[in-house]
């Protein structure tokens, strides 16, 4: 209690002097996840750091070992769980400094200047931290948590603004024994723990209002068991009595956990057709590890005995927060899709194993709608084809992943997309590495010929003696010699608008000439420097 009184008295003295509480050493670092770079010095608003990072790295915290002020001038985004190291002084996190108020609550679904975290992530503080004159944003249905450890003091001033993407869902604050929380402003889902807690008149605790009175009480059922080889007459409450189907809020496994919980896959978790996962009021975790038992079984490779899988080409649509943890995700035949909608968050943990039926060269397609989030491990990002207009976060680095919009492509049509300077191309929405990036030469778009030709079913032969590339299908043969201003199409000489050339051991040809002679059309988007070839 003495510690609380001393902190409060110190704040009152600072407020009386008309200043904002800052650390004794006076260090100031500027941060913007959306516009910063860790190669910046972080010492001015024009050169902000990108990330928090550790004391030993090059992020903002490395400059604040003695405490100080972190000025958030854009998004301060933590992409996963983060432990703030023990600093020698207090850290103040604010968006108002030097007479400038950087706070920006718009858009409401993802404020341009605020403190935010990936859905469900936990910030553990081991030092004294003050949030002052800043927006604290709750991203989705997965509550974020700030945990105050023993010896640390968390202060939320009455200048803090709390916003949320989902009404009624705000941060939780957990105060461990020996820790202290002084909350004078903002709205929070809960403030709990065995430490010392002081809640001022300007703070709101929302938990009681957010409870659905028609839902089962907390702790009634939070873990169920699934095996699509089992029987729905089972109760689903033990590994020996798993249910057969996921079902709905009124039947199957999901009916047992309307407020969210854990589905333990003890055999095949099979979705036999496209399926819309019912909207539970809390997150649902799929796992194959429970109570010390690991049920995962990758054998046989053509159809693992214990894994999450879907029927060939099926789509899983989620409007609830869904987590895959310590489970096998298996891709059977035609590509499966997980479609993240209605503000939901998809999380794929680092311990997820990715398997695909032998002979396949792809895994799931992930589509993330605007206002939705996917937090994916580095391995998930490597395996999945990812699209959409929502946010995709690399959970390993905390950085946003650039993804393309998804477009429905009619059966039998091939669409190739390549962007100038980018080493990734897309064939029917699926990302593919390029040997060399497209470039512009003499106002003409030049593309690596082999990638384009093979995408449209053509072969490419190279004659080193004459420096001639031959692109051939059953209907057409195109011969282009490096440096020549003409080419031959089925033996007839045709003038080129730009000669072919070799750069970095790759043959480049004019995109329009090659595409149109292979029967494709070409569209150019100048805003994104992207060529779209359709056949």
Does residue 472 belong to any structural domain of this protein? yes
Mark whether 90 and 203 lie in a shared domain: yes
The reply to whether omega before 300 is within 30° of 0 (cis) is yes
Same domain, 356 and 388: yes
The pLDDT of residue 18 is 40
Tell me: do 173 and 249 sit in the same domain: no
pLDDT at 104 over 90: yes
Q: Is position 529 within any domain? A: yes
Q: Is 69 inside any structural domain?
A: yes
Q: Are residues 264 and 376 in the same domain?
A: yes
- Residues 101 and 238 both lie in one domain: no
pLDDT of 424: 74
Same-domain status, 426 and 387: no
506 and 434 within one domain: yes
Tens-digit pLDDT profile for residues 321-335: 999 999 999 999 888
Domain with 190 in it: 2-210
**10 and 100 part of one domain:** yes
Mean of the per-residue pLDDT values for the chain? 86
Between residues 127 and 212, the one the model is more confident about:
127
First to last CA, the chain: 73
E strands, 82-195, in order: 82-84, 91-94, 96-97, 100-101, 114-117, 122-125, 129-132, 135-138, 145-148, 153-156, 161-164, 172-175, 180-183, 186-188, 190-193
Which of 149, 181, 210 is the endpoint of a domain?
A: 210
Closest CA to 21 of 158, 120, 213, 136: 158
- Could you tell me if 151 and 125 are in contact, meaning their C-beta atoms sit under 8 angstroms apart? no
For residues 429 and 341, membership in a common domain is answered with: no
Local confidence band at 512 (pLDDT 50, 70, 90 cut-offs): confident
Tell me whether residue 400 is in a domain: no
What does R_g of the chain's alpha carbons equal in angstroms? Answer: 28
Please give the share of the chain, as a percent, with pLDDT higher than 90.
47
Number of domains in the chain: 3
Whether residue 239 sits in one domain with residue 198: no
The answer as to whether 216 is a domain residue is: no
Considering the domain architecture, whether residues 452 and 351 belong to the same structural domain is answered as: no
Domain boundary among 157, 176, 210: 210
* Residue 410, in any domain of the structure: no
Domain boundary among 341, 364, 394: 394
Q: Which of 94-103, 166-175, 212-221, 255-264 is predicted least confidently?
A: 212-221
Does the pLDDT at position 338 exceed 60?
Answer: yes
pLDDT at residue 207, as a whole number: 62
The pLDDT value recorded for residue 135 is 97
Residue 195 tokens read as 């430490």
Residue 171 falls inside a structural domain: yes
pLDDT at 317: 94
Is residue 513 assigned to a domain?
yes
pLDDT at 296: 97
142 shares its domain with 74: yes
* 32 has a pLDDT exceeding 80: yes
Q: Which pLDDT belongs to residue 21?
A: 37
CATH of residue 506's domain is: 3.30.457.10
């Amino acid at each position: 209690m003495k510690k609380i009184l001393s902190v409060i008295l110190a704040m009152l003295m600072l407020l009386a002097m008309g200043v904002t509480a800052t650390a004794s050493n006076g260090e100031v670092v500027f941060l913007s996840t959306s516009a910063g770079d860790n190669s910046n010095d972080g010492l001015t608003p024009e050169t902000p750091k990108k990330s928090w990072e550790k004391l030993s790295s090059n992020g903002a915290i490395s400059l604040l070992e003695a405490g100080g002020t972190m000025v958030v001038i854009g998004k301060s985004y933590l992409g996963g769980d983060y432990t703030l190291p023990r600093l020698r002084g207090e850290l103040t996190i604010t968006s108002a400094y030097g007479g400038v108020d950087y706070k920006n609550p718009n858009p409401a679904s993802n404020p341009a200047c605020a403190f935010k975290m990936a859905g469900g992530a936990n910030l553990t503080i081991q030092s004294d931290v003050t949030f002052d004159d800043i927006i604290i944003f709750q991203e989705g249905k997965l509550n974020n948590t700030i945990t105050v450890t023993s010896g640390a003091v968390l202060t939320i001033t009455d200048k803090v603004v709390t916003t949320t993407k989902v009404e009624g869902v705000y941060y939780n604050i957990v105060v461990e024994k020996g820790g202290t929380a002084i909350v004078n402003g903002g709205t929070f889902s809960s403030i709990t723990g065995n430490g010392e807690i002081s809640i001022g008149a300007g703070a709101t605790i929302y938990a009681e209002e957010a409870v659905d009175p028609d839902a089962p009480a907390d702790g009634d059922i939070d873990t169920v068991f699934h095996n699509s080889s089992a029987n729905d007459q089972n109760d689903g409450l033990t590994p020996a009595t798993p249910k057969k189907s996921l079902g709905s809020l009124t039947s199957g496994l999901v009916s047992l956990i309307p407020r969210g919980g854990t589905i333990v896959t003890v055999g095949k978790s099979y979705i036999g057709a496209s399926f819309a996962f019912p909207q539970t009021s809390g997150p649902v975790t799929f796992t194959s590890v429970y109570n010390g038992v690991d049920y995962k079984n990758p054998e046989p490779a053509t159809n693992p005995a214990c894994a999450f899988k879907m029927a060939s080409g099926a789509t899983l649509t989620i409007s609830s927060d869904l987590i895959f943890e310590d489970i096998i995700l298996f891709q059977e035949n035609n590509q499966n899709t997980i479609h993240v909608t209605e503000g939901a968050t998809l999380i794929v943990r680092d311990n997820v194993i990715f398997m695909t039926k032998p002979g396949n060269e792809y895994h799931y397609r992930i589509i993330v709608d605007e206002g939705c989030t996917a937090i994916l491990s580095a391995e998930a990002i490597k395996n999945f084809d990812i699209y959409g207009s929502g946010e995709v976060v690399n959970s390993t680095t905390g950085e946003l992943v650039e993804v393309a919009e998804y477009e429905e492509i009619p059966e039998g049509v091939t669409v190739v997309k390549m962007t100038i300077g980018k080493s990734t191309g897309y064939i029917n929405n699926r990302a593919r590495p390029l040997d060399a990036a497209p470039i512009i030469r003499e106002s003409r778009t030049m593309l690596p010929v082999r990638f384009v030709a093979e995408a449209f079913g053509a072969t490419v032969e190279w004659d080193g003696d004459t420096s001639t590339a031959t692109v051939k299908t059953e209907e057409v043969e195109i011969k282009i010699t490096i440096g020549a201003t003409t080419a031959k199409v089925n033996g007839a000489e045709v003038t080129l608008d730009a000669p072919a050339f070799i750069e970095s051991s790759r043959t480049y040809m004019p995109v329009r000439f090659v595409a149109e002679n292979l029967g494709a059309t070409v569209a150019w988007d100048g805003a994104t420097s992207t060529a779209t070839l359709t056949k």
